[in-house]
Amino acid sequence: MTAQRAAPHRPQAHNSQPDAASGLARPRLRRATLLQPAPRGRSGSGRRCICSPTGPVSSRLLAVREAGTEAQSQTLSQGEREYISAKQYTVLPDAWKSYLSSVEGSASGSSLPAYVYEILGGNYGWTAYPRLGIAASGGGYRAATFGAGVLNALDGRNVSAVAAGTGGLLQAATYLTGLSGGSWLVTSLAQADFPTIPDLVFGPATANSTGFGGWNAVYSLLEPSNDPIVNAAYVLDVIGEVGDKNAEGFPVTISDVWARALSRHFANGTDAANFYDTSATHGAGITFSSLPNLDTFQTYVQPFPILVSDSWSQHGNFSAEADLEDAYVPLTNPIYEFNVYEFGSYDPMLGAFIPMANMGTTNESICVTNFDQVCFVEALSASLFNEYNSSAAALMNSSIYELIEILEELLPQTLIDYTVGIVPNPFQGLHPETFIDTNETYLQIVDGGEDDETVPLQPLLVKAREVDVIFAIDAASDTEYNWVDGSSIIATQERMAYFAGTYFFPPVPPDNSTWLAEGLTTRPTFFGCNSSGASGAPLLVYLGNGGPPLGETTAYTNTSTEQLAYSADELEAMLSQTFDVATQGIPSDTESGWEKDPEWAGCLACAVVDRARERQSIERSGSCQSCLERYCWS
């Protein structure tokens, strides 16, 4: 029998103003304004509040781009389409050649069939290159760090990665998706202008209080000090920073406070020297839609970043038909994605987007700008506080209750659930027959992994993106000891059954016991090797955090999701161990100890080119044939 979760308690705001005697005066924003309504159009002018989106525009809903509801009708925004095209033409030829050079330098490089060299070397033209997407899972700091370690092993700027034969794959990736902890990695990497992973995690050698100062992981996300007085002042400060947003008439919840806390770690403007400085910007004013202005965007160096969130809907979550099992959000709820150009969903019940720069806009008279603060967007992707709100008693006994009470007292609001992220609904009235929130004033948005899909694969399954191969990084906490057991990939396969004709996914084991018994979480595994590219399903390269590498008995990468602070030594140990996870392949237990698979780099290259090989009507052969037999699940 399927367990049904109780409908959550919805905290009601206090109607009274804060008691002056409490000393908690309502704070005001002391730095850059976070929201700015655009000028009103002239009355009766019919002027739209944003420039022309591509594709059909709903006659009822201003600035909404209808993106298609079936695979063959899906379309990309003009901005994304132009970026991907320019990257493919100007950057990928050299990127794939550099990656090929890394593979050639590995032990298996000289034994690869000719078609690998021909495809990656550009013999078939720039349109014939593989299209690669990388997905970084949720799981808090553990997932962010594990994902960073994997990217470090794929980075052509890392001489160790090049020596391993995997370096350069990051530069050749077209897309990079993240959710929850993975969104911290993707967002910080993108907005910091694509630094190396060591500089991203630890900060650059030369401190710069206005640039990116590293993750500042030694400071806990919500309680950065050992001194409770300092922590209390910190909480009041971050709440004060969202005061103007509330004054503008927008709902403010714990997700907004969470965003300002995350900004000290994953946005420009904070380092160890100014962490508590109330005059510093701490990322305020940096918007997701402004990232295309960065140098590495202008030169198409970055993979195109996409974040993922789930929808928390009274029409979906609390339906009598909802089959939630151990998830918080039904698989049939819309999944929202955020990219630098748009916010919306490709799910067929909606299939619509608005420009990211106008996120927060709901009508044609006032354009909202600056709503898409980078840390608010990543906070929406990592907002799991509703999980504490299964009942009034559960919320009162939770670690967030005191913060909720302070927020209610300082910024009192009515009929607001303080435990979810709230975005004004730009899709009101759209697709009333299928879109569950068509009549809602606000969208309630929560952690992208609450439907059990902790690896953000959905954006990479959009047919219009034409992704050939996905490198899936899974660092969820599925087991008692915070290892993975394949649950996320199973959930994605189950979700695809609801949306046949929209998304296509390769066959994967349908139960956790198979994943664990066959060791699929402790070594890289390929899925979809026997599926035709004509099926629409990409080939999936799965790399899970399923145990320490190379037979090691000491594990560093299975920390708790609730661990919100890390020392530099802890991060170093996690990154080092993750590098081995990403470069070991299927290791061998030899007389001299565990050894990495010397053919792993070549086998990975075989998987990367496999769909491109098929498009050229070339038979799989040589070492690629034997590699895929070893690494593919079927």
If one counts every other C-beta atom within 10 angstroms of the C-beta of residue 159, the result is: 10
CA atoms of 401 and 406, how far apart (whole Å) = 9
CA atoms of 516 and 519, how far apart (whole Å) = 5
CA atoms of 151 and 400, how far apart (whole Å) = 33
Supply 290's token pair: 């402004």
In this prediction, residues 453-477 reach a mean pLDDT of: 98
CA atoms of 395 and 405, how far apart (whole Å) = 11
- 323 pLDDT tier (thresholds 50, 70, 90): low
In this structure, of 26-35, 151-160, 470-479, the range with the lowest mean pLDDT score is 26-35
CA atoms of 111 and 397, how far apart (whole Å) = 61
Strands 593-595 and 588-590: antiparallel
In this structure, of 162-166, 250-254, 257-261, 591-595, the range with the lowest mean pLDDT score is 591-595
Phi, psi of 344 (to 5 degrees): 165, -150
407: pLDDT strictly greater than 60: yes
191: pLDDT strictly greater than 90: yes
Supply 325's token pair: 């099992």
In this prediction, residues 232-261 reach a mean pLDDT of: 95
Percent of the chain at pLDDT above 90? Answer: 82
7: pLDDT strictly greater than 80: no
Radius of gyration of the chain (CA): 24
Number of H helices, E strands in the chain: 20, 16
| Beta carbons within 8 Å of 455's beta carbon, 6+ residues apart | 135, 137, 179, 472, 473, 474, 476, 488, 489, 492
User: Taking CA 270 as the corner, what is the angle to CA 269 and CA 273, rounded to the nearest 5 degrees?
Assistant: 130
Q: Which residue has the tokens 């970084």?
A: 136
Supply 369's token pair: 């700008």
CA atoms of 201 and 158, how far apart (whole Å) = 14
623: pLDDT strictly greater than 90: yes
At 634 the pLDDT is: 84
- 326 pLDDT tier (thresholds 50, 70, 90): low
CA atoms of 196 and 594, how far apart (whole Å) = 29
* Length of the chain in terms of residues written: 634
Distances (CA, A) of 184 to 173, 217, 347, 366, 456: 19, 12, 24, 31, 13
628: pLDDT strictly greater than 50: yes
The more confidently predicted of residues 112 and 327 is 112
pLDDT in tens, 273-311: 999 999 999 999 999 999 999 999 999 999 999 999 999
- 32 pLDDT tier (thresholds 50, 70, 90): very low
pLDDT in tens, 439-463: 999 999 999 999 999 999 999 999 9
At 109 the pLDDT is: 67
At 46 the pLDDT is: 27
Q: State the pTM of this model.
A: 0.91
Terminal Cα distance for the chain, rounded? 30
Q: What's the CA dihedral at 71, 74, 79, 81 to 10 degrees?
A: 50
1: pLDDT strictly greater than 60: no
In this prediction, residues 484-490 reach a mean pLDDT of: 98
Distances (CA, A) of 164 to 112, 130, 540, 542, 598: 16, 21, 21, 18, 9
Kind and range of the H or E element at 169? Answer: helix 169-172
pLDDT in tens, 329-364: 999 999 999 999 999 999 999 999 999 999 999 876
Evaluate whether 377 touches 187 at the Cβ level (below 8 Å): yes
Percent of the chain at pLDDT above 70? Answer: 88
In this prediction, residues 249-256 reach a mean pLDDT of: 96
CA atoms of 445 and 462, how far apart (whole Å) = 21
At 253 the pLDDT is: 98
| Beta carbons within 8 Å of 205's beta carbon, 6+ residues apart | 199
pLDDT in tens, 360-390: 998 766 789 999 999 999 999 999 999 999 8
Distances (CA, A) of 103 to 116, 339, 603, 606: 10, 31, 10, 10
3-state secondary structure of 585: coil
CA atoms of 505 and 105, how far apart (whole Å) = 33
User: Taking CA 183 as the corner, what is the angle to CA 455 and CA 225, rounded to the nearest 5 degrees?
Assistant: 125
Strands 368-369 and 335-339: unpaired
CA atoms of 494 and 288, how far apart (whole Å) = 31
Strands 175-178 and 65-66: unpaired
Average pLDDT, whole number, for the chain? 89
CA atoms of 421 and 413, how far apart (whole Å) = 14
16: pLDDT strictly greater than 50: no
| Beta carbons within 8 Å of 88's beta carbon, 6+ residues apart | 126, 127, 129, 131, 174
If one counts every other C-beta atom within 10 angstroms of the C-beta of residue 580, the result is: 18
The CATH number of the structural domain formed by 20-90+130-597 is 3.40.1090.10
CA atoms of 217 and 224, how far apart (whole Å) = 9
